[in-house]
Structure 1
Amino acid sequence: MIRINIYLAIVIFSFNRIKCEFLRSKGCVTFQEGTTWEFDNDQAILPSVVSSELCATHCFENERCLGYTWYSFIEGSHNICILFDELRNQQSCENCVSGTGPADIPGSCEIEEENLIDYFSAASESECYQLCSQDEACRFYTWFDQSAILFKNECFTFTSCEKVSSCSDCKSGGMSCLDFTCPEYRVLNDPTRLMSHGQGNYCDSMDKNSEDYTTSPDWFGPGWYRFQLPAGGETMPDSTENLGYCGATSPGWVNGHHPSQAGEMRNETVCFKLFNDCSLGRDVSILNCGSYYLYYLLDTPACNLRYCST
C-alpha cells in the first residue's frame, strides 16, 4: 500500500515541482573538517579506510554509531576511521573530517499532506542523508536499496515522518545536525582594504622586505581572520583584479570558490597579480561560519601584496 501511495504522490509532486522551486543549502550541518569528540577505548577503530565517505558508510552500517571521524594521517598511520557511540566534549583535530549518523527510524516514512520535499537517485543511505542535509526544510528521509523493485536506489526527503510503514528494502532516519564552533579569529577592518581604494604602501607580512612598505595596521601574522566593516564586505574577491588597488600594489584574489554550507571548509589559493593574474600565490583555508567566512591566511610572499575585501 505504501508503494502505491508514494507512486501517486510522485505524480502529483512532479507536476507541482514544475511550478515551484525549493530552497537549497544552509541546511543541517552533518560533517565538518577539523573537529572530533572525546575518544576512549570503547570506540571502534577501522584501519585502511581510504576516504571520509567510506568512513561515513561504515557508520551508517553500524547500529550503535552516532558519529565518525576520519583521519588522513594520525600518529604515523594513514586512513583511520573512528566510530563513536557517544558524542561528547567536541574538540579540534588535524587532518580529520567528522560527521554524524542518523537517528534511525524503523520503516518507511509515509507521505502525508505536503510532507514530501523531493526525491533523488542515491547509491547509498549516507548519500541520501547528505542530500537531506542540503535542504533547510528536510528533517527525515527514506532510502530504498538495490533490492527494491519499484524505487531502486531512490531517496525521498520529508519535512515530517509521523507515520511509518514497515519495509525490508528501505532505511529511514532523522537528521542529526552537527554543532560546530568556529575558531577564534582576528579582524581585518582597515578601510583601505576595499577594492575601491586606490594604491598604497601596505603589505600583509611581518617580515617587511623594503623600507618603502608598511605592515598593515590590522595584520598580526598567520592565523584565522575575518573581514569586517569598515573594510567593506566580508569576502575576498574571487576574480582577478588590476594592479594598484586595496592600499597596495598587488591585490589578492581567491582563485577558487567559497564553501557554500555552514561548517564546510575549502582549501584554495590566493593569487597576487604582478606580471600575470597569478604571479605569486599563497595557500588559504576558507571556513563557512554560517553568517560569515573565516580565512586562514599566511604572510604574503612579498611586501607589495595584500589581502583585499570586496
Structure 2
Amino acid sequence: MSFSMGGLLLLLLVVLDTPQAEADPCANYIVLDTSWRATTNLDRSVVRCDSQLTNISWQGWYRMVHKTVSIRMPETCVPPYRCGTNGPLWLNGAHPRPKDGIVAREVCGSWDNNCCHSRVPSIRVKACPGNYIVYKLAKPPYCFGYCAETRTYFQQRLKLKMVLQREPSPAEIAQFSLQIREKMIQMGYPNDTTVKMV
C-alpha cells in the first residue's frame, strides 16, 4: 500500500478541517441567575447594561433561572426601563419545541417608544428535555439587557385561563387534567408526562 505525498497531505487537511461536533447545549450551559432581569423589575436605582458586565463572557450557552426555577425570555415587547436596564431585550418570535432542535431567533431592544428600536445579532435557542430553554446569547450594544419572564416554562407554554364559579367535581378535575396532559404532549412534552390537580 503506497500513498503519494499529495494524497497524504489532502487526507490530513480533510481530517484537520472537519469541524468537531458541538456539545449538546442542553447538557453544557452556564446558569444565568440574576433576579434583576425579571420583566416585573421596575427599580431604576441601579441600571445594568449587559454590554458592560464583566462577569459574563458571552461565549457558550445560557440557561435562565429565577429562584431555582427555569424561566425564559419574553416573546412580546417589554417597555423601556424594565428588567433592570434602560433597553430591555426580548425574543421576537416563538420559542422552539424540543423536536425543533436549535433555531435562530431575532432579538429586539425596546427604546424610545419603539418595541424593536434596536436589533441585536440573532441568537440561537434550543428547547431541552426537562422543560427548559437554553440560549446562545450575543453581547448586546449600548445599555441593553436580556429580560426574563418570571413565570415558569409550564405557565408560559400553556397560557391557560380557567375561571370557575363553583367547586369542580372529581370527574371534572380528572377530565381537565387529561386535557392539559394532551396539550402538553402536543407541544412536545414526553408521552409519560403526568398532571396532578391540587
Q: Structure 1-normalised TM-score?
A: 0.37
Deviations 1:47-98 (A, max 9, x none): xxxxxxxxxxxxxxxxxxxxxxxxxxxx69xxxxxxxxxxxxxx615xxxxx
Where does residue 249 of structure 1 map in the other structure?
A: 86
Q: Which residue of 2 aligns with 1:197?
A: 41
Shift of 1:279: 1.5
1:223 CA drift (Å): 2.4
- Return closer, same or farther for 1:216/1:234 CA change in 2, 3 Å cut-off: farther
What's the TM-score once normalised by structure 2's chain length? 0.57
1:301 aligns with 2:130: no
Give the distance between the partners of 1:248 and 1:279, measured in 2 at CA: 15
Question: Contact conserved, 1:183 with 1:224, CA < 8 A, in 2?
Answer: no
Q: How does 1:113-132 map to 2 (within 5 A)?
A: none
Counterpart residue number, 1:287: 126
Name the SS for the 1:279 alignment partner.
strand
CA 1:234/1:297 → structure 2, altered by over 3 Å: closer, same or farther? same
Q: Which structure 2 residue ranges, 5 or more long, are not aligned?
A: 1-16, 150-198
Question: C-alpha separation between the residues in 2 aligned to 1:246 and 1:181?
Answer: 25
Residue 251 of structure 1: CA displacement?
0.9
What CA distance in whole angstroms lies between the structure 2 residues aligned with 1:228 and 1:253? 16
Q: 2:83 & 2:48 partners in 1: Cα distance? A: 9
SS of aligned partner of 1:277: strand
**Contact 1:251 1:307 (8 Å CA) reproduced:** yes
Q: Contact 1:190–1:231 (CA<8 Å) still a contact in 2? A: no
Give the deviation of 1:307 after TM superposition: 0.6
CA gap of 1:251–1:232, structure 2 versus 1, over 3 A, is farther
Match of 1:237 among 74, 89, 92: 74
Question: Would you say how many aligned residue pairs link Structure 1 and Structure 2?
Answer: 127
In structure 2, what is the equivalent of residue 278 of structure 1?
116
Determine if contact 1:193/1:231 at 8 Å carries over to the other structure. no
Any conservation in 1 of the 2:40–2:83 contact (CA below 8 Å)?
yes
Give the secondary structure class of the aligned counterpart of 1:223. coil
* Pairs within 5 Å for 1:155-170: none
Shift of 1:203: 1.4
Post-superposition offset of 1:261? 2.2
Contact 1:251 1:272 in 2 (8 A): yes
Unaligned runs of 5+ in 1: 1-74, 77-90, 94-179, 209-214
Structure 1 residues 79-134: Cα deviation after superposition (integer angstroms, max 9, x where no partner)? xxxxxxxxxxxx615xxxxxxxxxxxxxxxxxxxxxxxxxxxxxxxxxxxxxxxxx
| Equivalent AA in structure 2 for residue 245 of structure 1 | R
CA distance in 2, matches of 1:181, 1:309: 19
Are the aligned partners of 1:194 and 1:231 in contact in 2 as well (CA < 8 Å)? Answer: no
CA distance in 2, matches of 1:197, 1:237: 13
Residues 85 and 144 in structure 2, CA contact (< 8 A), matched pair in contact too: yes
Matched, 1:266 2:103: yes
1:186 Cα shift?
Answer: 1.0
Matched residue of 2:66: which SS? coil
| Rounded Cα–Cα distance in structure 2 between residues aligned with 1:248 and 1:231 | 22
* Equivalent pair of 2:25/2:134 in contact (CA under 8 Å): no
**1:185 equivalenced with 2:29 (yes/no):** yes
Q: Quick one: distance in 2 between partners of 1:197 and 1:281? A: 22
Map 1:65-214 to 2 at 5 A: 92=21, 182-198=26-42, 199=44, 200-205=46-51, 208=52
- Residues 308 and 253 of structure 1: CA distance in aligned 2, closer, same or farther (over 3 Å): same
Q: For 1:193 and 1:269, locate their aligned partners in 2 and report how far apart those are by CA, in whole Å.
A: 19
Q: 1:309 to 1:255 in 2, by over 3 A?
A: same
Deviation at 1:220, TM superposition (A): 2.8
* Higher share of residues assigned strand: 1
Q: Percent identity?
A: 27
CA contact (8 A) 2:98 2:126 kept: no
Amino acid at match of 2:21: S
CA displacement 1:254-301 (0-9 Å, x = unmatched)? 001111124611101111011311111221100111221100001111
For residues 268 and 286 of structure 1, what CA distance do their matches in structure 2 show?
7
Classify the secondary structure of the residue corresponding to 1:192. helix
- Cα distance change of structure 1 residues 216 and 232 upon mapping to structure 2, 3 Å threshold: farther
